[in-house]
Structure 1
């Protein structure tokens, strides 16, 4: 499988999971996506787990750490590539966002910052040194998309446009929903769905990753067997067939089988 050697600014580049039960999470993603893992020892990261494909020595696809605050919900965090973390932090605050973790150096790997947008949705930025991000994307069992669920899409468009320079493009992929594709230099890098009245009131707006799977139907069924809840059953959209599930600890993620080229 081809490995990624660089990410352009504004692109999603890494994911990590905050789990209240790392053992359960390792078992779930290992069974569902075939991931292996090893523990990365870095002073700033307590027991940070690196998920890999094709065995422990395979390419890294995501990370995991124990949920630090039990009052917070389990979730995936999406990281976006930036040239400079301090500059990104200033743009976030100027656009009305909140700094959660100020710029922090992670050994020789790079620098990160964590933030919340106008509606409280968390995300992170990454300035690489020796680690650009995920070694593999757009392959089975790897990240293939990231998506924001928002209750105010106009505010979200303005915010992320200021922070990352994203351009918004409307699409209609699923039922009658207007879907936002965010682009950088003409390339789609992320998406946004509107949270209308059909979404549970208790669900916060959030970012979730999508992982590519060979058979969306089979993957959704398997996730259920492993203790997940299927919140959006498999359905067809222009890019392929997708589903959204909540893993056994409560973190949301998407599954996508891309449409085969005609």
Structure 2
């Protein structure tokens, strides 16, 4: 992954019911530093911005990680989302001089956001332990999702599989940027909505899972070996889901 590439994930942040406890949990789990600015926390890794966190603003909104896709023009993306069956939840607005953002739902109901960089480019560290290493859309309409994200971001796609399960890799200029995974009937509970999952790199998946549990979090999907490495789905103490991946390389 590379920073500030239009069409690729540029930032992730956590909306949480307990910002102070989220800071305690994630700084201990990933070795992040925490820089507080108002009601927003920027987590750093090796002196570089890695992720963020802020409070919940909507009544009944669950604690969740959000994926921000980089763009040169947030307003153009908002128009494309609306024209292709998505929903504009938060129209584009300036975050002081740091950048411009907007929030959407894709046609399947998965929330995502965009980031148009200003003085803040987004994450500046990837693919090392404690940093973002992958983003993945879990969707109940794979063909519809591919058509939507192609129209909005120009993504191209490569069909693949993950342990025998169909999997699609999205590409920008032949560079893989994220994945799309079909939520096959019977494989996912009916009450789980389409969503974007964030993956953070770790040295050792099993140790990270146990560490998360010891810090008050939970293990939703136990450590599992895939061709790309060993991963687990974890939950923070407020219920925010995320994954960790110890890559095979």
Indicate the TM-score class for this superposition, using the shorter chain for normalisation: over 0.9
- Does the 8 A contact of 1:20 with 1:70 survive in 2? no
Q: Answer yes or no: is 1:205 the counterpart of 2:202.
A: no
* SS of the residue 1:178 aligns to: strand
2:9 is aligned to 12
Q: Answer yes or no: is 1:161 the counterpart of 2:150.
A: yes
Aligned pair partner of 1:52 in 44, 52, 56: 44
Q: Deviations over 1:227-246 (max 9, x none)?
A: 22222211122221111112
Spell out the pairing of 1:1-262 with structure 2 (5 A cutoff).
Answer: 6-41=3-38, 47-54=39-46, 58-174=47-163, 176-196=164-184, 197-260=186-249
In the aligned structure 2, how far is the partner of 1:233 from the partner of 1:188? 26
* SS of the residue 1:222 aligns to: helix
In the aligned structure 2, how far is the partner of 1:194 from the partner of 1:231? 19
In the aligned structure 1, how far is the partner of 2:63 from the partner of 2:219? 16
Q: Deviations over 1:124-154 (max 9, x none)?
A: 1111111111121111100000011111111
* SS of the residue 2:165 aligns to: coil
Superposed displacement of residue 90, structure 1: 0.8
Q: Deviations over 1:147-183 (max 9, x none)?
A: 1111111111111111111112121123x31111111
Return the TM-score normalized by structure 1: 0.91
- Does the 8 A contact of 2:64 with 2:240 survive in 1? yes
Runs ≥4 in structure 1, deviation > 6 angstroms?
Answer: none
In the aligned structure 2, how far is the partner of 1:195 from the partner of 1:70? 28
- Does the 8 A contact of 1:117 with 1:159 survive in 2? yes
In the aligned structure 2, how far is the partner of 1:25 from the partner of 1:200? 27
In the aligned structure 1, how far is the partner of 2:232 from the partner of 2:159? 21
Return the TM-score normalized by structure 2: 0.95
Q: Deviations over 1:193-236 (max 9, x none)?
A: 11121212221111121000000111112112222222221112
The CA RMSD over aligned residues, in Å, is 1.4
1:44 is aligned to none
Matched length: 248
In the aligned structure 1, how far is the partner of 2:222 from the partner of 2:171? 27
Superposed displacement of residue 7, structure 1: 2.1
In structure 1, the gaps of 5 or more residues are 42-46
Q: Deviations over 1:89-125 (max 9, x none)?
A: 1110111000011110011111011111012111111
